[in-house]
Amino acid sequence: MTIEKVFGEVLKKKRIESELSQEGLAYISDLDRSFISMLERGKRKPTITTIFRLSSCLNIKPSELIKEVEAKVDSYK
Amino acid sequence: MTIEKVFGEVLKKKRIESELSQEGLAYISDLDRSFISMLERGKRKPTITTIFRLSSCLNIKPSELIKEVEAKVDSYK
DNA sequence: CTGTAGACTTCCGTCGACC
DNA sequence: TGGTCGACGGAAGTCTACA
């Protein structure tokens, strides 16, 4: 498992929990919808600023988002 | 304060605490020394994979690194 | 040991369109 | 609503070299 794939899974989960569509998240985060789609599918790797932006839109701390990613990455080892 | 500037400050602090030179960190993380230099000065924004790579070299969890960044960012608000 | 410059390759992130 | 395609500008990250 790659970090970007796990990040995509976590992002999708958090987005669903916030009851947002990709389009809705794209709108409030001011990121492109196709980019959100690629992030969720692990086709793109976000920069630190993108991580912070998405986190605030999902009402979660960046460190908590990363923590979930790191826990999931560790579980694959 | 921008996120990348704060990240650079935290990165430098952690590197010094690990008693590593930029060159040493570049070597073990397999990143370019000039890139490490620019990261520390906030001239570049790391992607999530770079954050994970640097964290493991600094013996810290990615989420803890981000946590310090987010705390410092918040302190400027 | 660190900063920076330039030239380079790869990829982030945008945009419009279609399924 | 989400996946994907192609084109694009700009930025991530490498490498050499010099102060």
Residue B45's pLDDT is what? 97
Whether the Cβ atoms of residue A50 and residue B42 lie closer than 8 Å to each other: no
Which nucleotide, over all strands, has the C1' atom closest to the CA of A32?
C14
CA atoms of A19 and B73, how far apart (whole Å): 28
Residue nearest to nucleotide C3 (CA to C1'): B37
Question: What is the full DSSP assignment across B35-70?
Answer: HHHHHHTTSS--BHHHHHHHHHHTTS-HHHHHHHHH
pLDDT digits (tens, 9 = 90+) for B12-38: 999 999 999 999 999 999 999 999 999
pLDDT digits (tens, 9 = 90+) for A28-70: 999 999 999 999 999 999 999 999 999 999 999 999 999 999 9
Whether the Cβ atoms of residue B58 and residue B14 lie closer than 8 Å to each other: yes
Dig out the tokens for B71 from the structure: 């705390």
Would the Cβ of A44 be found within 7 angstroms of any atom in strand C? Answer: yes
Q: In Å, what is the CA distance from B33 to each residue of A46, B20, B24?
A: 22, 12, 9
Task: Look up the pTM and report it.
Answer: 0.94
